[in-house]
Amino acid sequence: MTIDRDNMRRKDLVSGIVLMLFGAWVVYETCAKVPMKGSWGGVMNVWYVSPGLFPIFIGSILFFFGAALIAVAVRHLGFHAIRDEVRSRARAVAGSREIPEPVFRFLAVVVILAFYIYMNMPRVDFYLNSILFLVVIIHVFYLDELQVMRKLFRFYLAGSILFLVYFASGLDERIGGSIPYPADLLAILFTAVFAAYAWNLVRPRRDQVSKCRQAVLVALATPLLIGGLFKYFLLVPLPKEGLVVALMDAVYFGLF
């Protein structure tokens, strides 16, 4: 119980510092940019009408709360304990080689999501992007074996970084001039290679192989179902309509 609370106070110390900095930044940002008097938008400004009133109030309260958190933590832990803690942490970080499992799992989810949303969502056809995402994330977590997980994730990371370079270098637009949908085709390739790699990793074990099959099936069916529902029933255009959407459009409007 006490260890738990000690631990929490240590975390509070960190969040308290972050909050104080954040609060100070909010107040500074508001004071620097928001007009406190003069006319704006046809309304005469007085302090109580200013758009800055509310943010300054919030910023100062957050600053104050952050300070309170720090005070509680310092009183609870004692100043010396904190100093030693910081030192030992710094040493531990410098010494560690491999990321511990919970941190790894967290990073894996966040990184896969980040590539899915930030890199591919605006550039790769929604279906192909979602299929890629599902294939990767289900494989990584459903096989649920730390070593396999690490390998698969490293493979995905490498591939995605290649994609990043591909998009950043402007190669996509250049190739797109002569070959239609180059990014989509690459995504299909990557998805297939990833699935094959995963299958190869666990090939000798029947239960894991059947999990792979499930993963691929779910990954193929889900976006088709969800995306189709949104596009043709709810009439919501998809974020990026590339190869597969063009295909489906052609079929849909050819039929109806």
Residues numbered 68-97 forming contacts with other proteins, rule: CB under 8 A? 68-69, 72
Number of residues assigned to the chain:
256
| Residue 256 C-beta: closest distance to other proteins, Å | 9
CA–CA separation, 167 and 177 (whole Å): 14
The reply to whether 130 sits near other proteins by the rule CB under 8 A is: yes
Residue nearer to other proteins on the CB measure, 59 or 159? 59
CA 46 to each of CA 35, 38, 131, 201, 244: distance values in angstroms, whole numbers, following the listed order: 10, 8, 55, 68, 57
Contact yes or no for 61/23 (Cβ under 8 A): yes
Contact yes or no for 191/128 (Cβ under 8 A): yes
DSSP code string of 62-86: HHHHHHHHHHHHHHHH-HHHHHHHH
The reply to whether 164 sits near other proteins by the rule CB under 8 A is: no
Q: With CB under 8 A as the contact rule, which of the stretches 164-172, 176-184, 200-208, 235-243 interacts with other proteins? A: 235-243
The reply to whether 53 sits near other proteins by the rule CB under 8 A is: yes
The reply to whether 196 sits near other proteins by the rule CB under 8 A is: no
Residue nearer to other proteins on the CB measure, 109 or 165? 109
- Eight-class DSSP state of 116: I
Q: With CB under 8 A as the contact rule, which of the stretches 22-30, 77-85, 153-161, 171-179 interacts with other proteins? A: 22-30
The reply to whether 236 sits near other proteins by the rule CB under 8 A is: yes
Choose which of 21, 31, 61, 90 interacts with other proteins (CB under 8 A).
Answer: 61
Residue nearer to other proteins on the CB measure, 91 or 241? 241
CA–CA separation, 35 and 51 (whole Å): 8
